Amino acid sequence: MSKAQQEAIKERSMVLQKDMLAKQFTELSQAKELGKKVVYTFVPGNLTELILSFDLLPVYPEINALQSGMRKKSAAYIRDAEKIGYSEDVCTYVKCDIGMMLNGNIGPTGEKLPEPDLLLLSYTGCYTFMKWFENLERLYPGVPVAMLHTPYQEDGIITQDQVDYMVKQLREEVIPKMEMVSGKKFDMDRLSAMMENSVKSEDLLVKVLESAKSVPTPIDAYFAGVYYIGPIFTAFRGTSEAVEYYQELWNEVQQRAAAGLGPVTPEGELKEEKFRLVMEGPPNWTNFREFWKIFYDMGAVIVASTYTKVGGTYDTGFRHDPTQPLESLAKYCMNCYTNLNLPQRIDLIENYVKEYKADGFLINSIKSCNSFSAGQLMIMREIEKRTGVPVGFIESDLVDPRYFSYANIKNRLESYFQMLEQRKIILAQQ
């Protein structure tokens, strides 16, 4: 183990997050014994503060799937789901989740996950979520289902009618079912107090992500970024633990920036920043370290990514509002990346390329994820036209190892980085 790896393991923010996640899965495994009720829901547009205000425990199926992918468990789960009729074209998160349930619902940490007491479908731009929950409803007959439908930002603006529509659903559909399942009355003051913690965490996360505007950047905003977003996009937004984590993370990032240090990676610290990239699309989870290492070996770092906005576009200005908790939840759902229209996504990426001084724009197109993959070729052409930076395109999948070709991806990236290098030489001569 290298010195850089030892230092990374000792960083307090990493220890804090590991302890937070371990505590979460242990609590879930003991939920029934502790008398806790469980809500299955999704990351984009999640209602974490509302769930926690009822003392309910959230479970995120796509988090279980990606964790299973990183632990090399997803291939077998996907095969089992396909054996009972799930097509190869179905989102591999879904098949991994279904396969996990078929094998005893043992979570990625090896602890059995509890069955849901409520299925909460917060729909934000991904139609697959609706079909996924139809299947969960069949797997767990009799479990109540609450749906929060989020209007798509077709015109690129959030109207008061849309906010009112969502608040009405919260009041008449979601909250009554949470009250029924939890046996507790809704407490607006408690929800508001939790959102004060949300704002603190959101402020700190944005500072961390925007530190990548520095040259060199002290962080990687894609591979490392998926760890940074973990607590705020899942079960900890609105908690004091999340605030503590993000404060510690921000302290560490400031120290690295002040010392002019590059990001810490599994292979060690990135000593020389050769290429700065903006990345579109989720990462591949089954070969996550090998994927990251290709970039590390070529001196490439991701300074901004769209995937780290799938659970909220805080860097464009949104914050939860403790003075209007329900309205705030509505606006949060509508501001998730997968709920933005294509012109909004292009504008966001264009700003990233320019503000973060990127040398190029790269898309990792996911075979089974239409929410991200739809429109990506058009996005790529438009970004090339608007910014002039070289664009690249690679393909993999979320948690299906059959669709990760290391040699193919490495060859494509090597050609892409050669193009970036030639462009740098030409620009330097002008």
Could you give all domains of the chain from N- to C-terminal order, each with its CATH number?
32-185 (3.40.50.11890)
Taking Cα atoms as reference points, which of 36, 56, 31 lies closest to residue 46? Answer: 56
Top pLDDT among 250 and 108 is at 250
Strand segments (E) across 126-190: 145-149
Q: What is the reported pLDDT for 11?
A: 61
Average pLDDT rounded to a whole number, residues 263-270: 90
Average pLDDT rounded to a whole number, residues 162-171: 97
Q: What is the reported pLDDT for 21?
A: 85
Average pLDDT rounded to a whole number, residues 2-7: 41
Binned at pLDDT 50, 70 and 90, residue 5 comes out as very low
DSSP-derived pairing of the beta strands 275-280 and 118-123? unpaired
pLDDT tens digits, residue range 59-83?
999 999 999 999 999 999 999 999 9
8 Å CB contact between 58 and 28: no
Taking Cα atoms as reference points, which of 376, 301, 367 lies closest to residue 338? Answer: 376
pTM, full prediction:
0.94
Task: Name every residue whose Cβ is closer than 8 Å to that of residue 38 and which is 6 or more positions away in sequence.
Answer: 28, 31, 56, 57, 58, 59, 114, 115, 116, 117, 118
User: Distance between CA atoms of 422 and 103, rounded to whole angstroms?
Assistant: 51
